[in-house]
Amino acid sequence: RARGMNASAEEVNASIEGLPETGLTEEQSSLQQHFEAKIGQQLTDLAGSIERLAVRAQSEFDTQKEGRRTLPAPRRSFALDHMDTLPKDGQQPLAIFCEFEGLVCNMHTESVLLSERPKDRAARLEAYSQLQLPLKEALVKLEAAGAKLAPGFEDFAELCSIRQVRLFVLSHGLKPIIRHFLRQAGLGHVEVFGNDLGFKPDGSWDVCMRDGSPSGHDKGETLQQALRGSQLNARVVVVSYASEDFCVVETGLVNTLYTPQGCPLAERCQGAGLRTRPFEGWDAMVNQLQLT
């Protein structure tokens, strides 16, 4: 901050006056005084400039430091206000994205396997790493607990295929488990976006989250990728319930959002002033989307 360089005019003049006498003539002495006065003023001006630069540099540093304390701005929301509207028959192709856990499937498979539903990403990964049973045994355990596709979904998916409606499973669940239940029902063609599963040498589960988001799967980003990859200019219908799935809504691409009554996503949308459509089962969606 240039401390010590901020000399005043008095200090500069005092330094000059302290110089030894040299026995100069009157003319030479006059020239010397003129030179000393000029140099003194220049030094004073220079000291003032240095002080101003130091103050400016400190101000800029403080501003940058304060900026580093500020959290990044949240992702801008482009959410549509009225996501309770239904598509008009035949006017635009449909793309439907639905959550597997508790919607496509009649229960939450994670709750069955882990005996609970961990609240965050780290807890989920830790809980899964404690499992040491083969995938086949895990599937047997799920089926023994009564896990199966929800009533009406198989017919819904078949009608989507007949009507050339693109159907995607967009889930926080594990792809091998999701695909198992879909294939059992002859729905192996349904595209699945979810988390991957591997196994460590000791047989423990090694879950690989789809991305680095807090939930492990940023569905908003995946939905955009799916639409770009399929080159779809479609009316987008989403069926989901989790609060973290609000990122899908924020893309502004969701035309119709189905949410179970009272679920966290429905409440979050309601709090944001956004209207959604109540999910009343797959049979009801067949009629509402005019798939028959």
C-alpha–C-alpha distance, residues 191 and 244, integer Å:
21
Three-state DSSP at 149 gives strand
Residues 6+ apart with CB under 8 A from 125: 207, 209
Q: Could you state, in order of their start, the residue ranges of all structural domains in the chain? A: 9-69, 94-288
Token pair 């003319």: residue: 27
Read off the amino acid at residue 218.
D
C-alpha–C-alpha distance, residues 236 and 96, integer Å:
6
C-alpha–C-alpha distance, residues 248 and 168, integer Å:
14
What pLDDT score was predicted for residue 74?
42
C-alpha–C-alpha distance, residues 121 and 131, integer Å:
16
What pLDDT score was predicted for residue 40?
67
Per-residue pLDDT tens digits for 139-190: 999 999 999 999 999 999 999 999 999 999 999 999 999 999 999 999 999 9
C-alpha–C-alpha distance, residues 22 and 161, integer Å:
107
pLDDT category, 25, cuts 50, 70, 90? confident
Token pair 């882990």: residue: 114
Q: What is the mean pLDDT of residues 122-134?
A: 92
What pLDDT score was predicted for residue 53?
60
pLDDT category, 11, cuts 50, 70, 90? low
What pLDDT score was predicted for residue 79?
66
- Considering the four listed CATH numbers 3.20.20.80, 1.10.238.10, 3.40.50.1000, 3.30.559.10, the one that applies to the domain covering 94-288 is 3.40.50.1000
C-alpha–C-alpha distance, residues 101 and 74, integer Å:
27
Structural tokens at position 141: 């355990």
What pLDDT score was predicted for residue 292?
78
Q: Give the mean pLDDT of the chain.
A: 82
Query: Could you tell me which of 175, 136, 178 has the C-alpha nearest to residue 157?
Result: 178
* CB 237, CB 245: distance < 8 Å: no
pLDDT category, 238, cuts 50, 70, 90? very high
Q: What is the mean pLDDT of residues 114-133?
A: 88
* CB 265, CB 259: distance < 8 Å: yes
Query: Could you tell me which of 116, 106, 190 has the C-alpha nearest to residue 149?
Result: 106
Residues 6+ apart with CB under 8 A from 54: 1, 2, 6
End-to-end CA distance of the chain: 77
| pTM flag (> 0.85) | no
Three-state DSSP at 158 gives helix
Residues 6+ apart with CB under 8 A from 116: 127
Does 242 score more than 70 pLDDT? yes
> CA dist 104 to 41, 155, 219, 249, Å?
84, 12, 16, 20
Q: What number of other Cβ atoms are within 10 A of residue 251's Cβ?
A: 20
Per-residue pLDDT tens digits for 44-101: 667 666 765 655 555 555 444 443 333 333 445 566 767 877 777 666 789 999 999 9
pLDDT category, 4, cuts 50, 70, 90? very low
Q: Positive or negative CA dihedral for 75, 78, 82, 83?
A: negative
